[in-house]
Structure 1
């Protein structure tokens, strides 16, 4: 079994409140979850208005498949006009490593 994760560090555009931040982040998280059938959540910078860290994880029996899915998620996140992608951190773990 292969477990792969991404952490997106995003800078948000014209956001001046946590409510405004939620209006940008919630649709982004929902679209990633719906389109790619992966686990996704805001994992850090929850109290900062213009910044967020979004974690995405996928599990598969095939390393190539999980890599392909998260490559597509990364392209999707990088192409979003309402956020600026600052960095992406990738991790891959096999159950043999645990």
Structure 2
């Protein structure tokens, strides 16, 4: 079993309140969850209006599939016009390594 996780750091566009931030972040989280069938949540920068950190995890039988899913999520995240993807941190581990 292979486990992959990634942390996406976003700079949001013209957002001036946490309510506006939610209206930008929620659709991103929902889209990733629906398109890629992964666990995803906003995990950081919770008090900042113009920043969002979204965490994603995936489990699969082989490493290639985990890598493919994480790469697809990164491409989708980078292509969103309403946000700027500042950085991505990824890690893939085998369950035997835990």
TM range (shorter): over 0.9
SS at 1:8 equivalent: strand
Q: How far does residue 5 in structure 1 lie from its aligned partner after superposition? A: 0.7
Equivalence for 1:2: 2
Runs of 4+ displaced beyond 3 Å? none
Unmatched segments (≥5 aa) in structure 1: none
Q: How far does residue 96 in structure 1 lie from its aligned partner after superposition? A: 1.2
Unmatched segments (≥5 aa) in structure 2: none
- Size of the aligned set, in residue pairs, is 98
Q: TM-score, normalised by structure 2?
A: 0.98
- What's the C-alpha RMSD, in Å, of the aligned pairs? 0.5
Q: TM-score, normalised by structure 1?
A: 0.98
Does the 8 A contact of 2:66 with 2:92 survive in 1? no
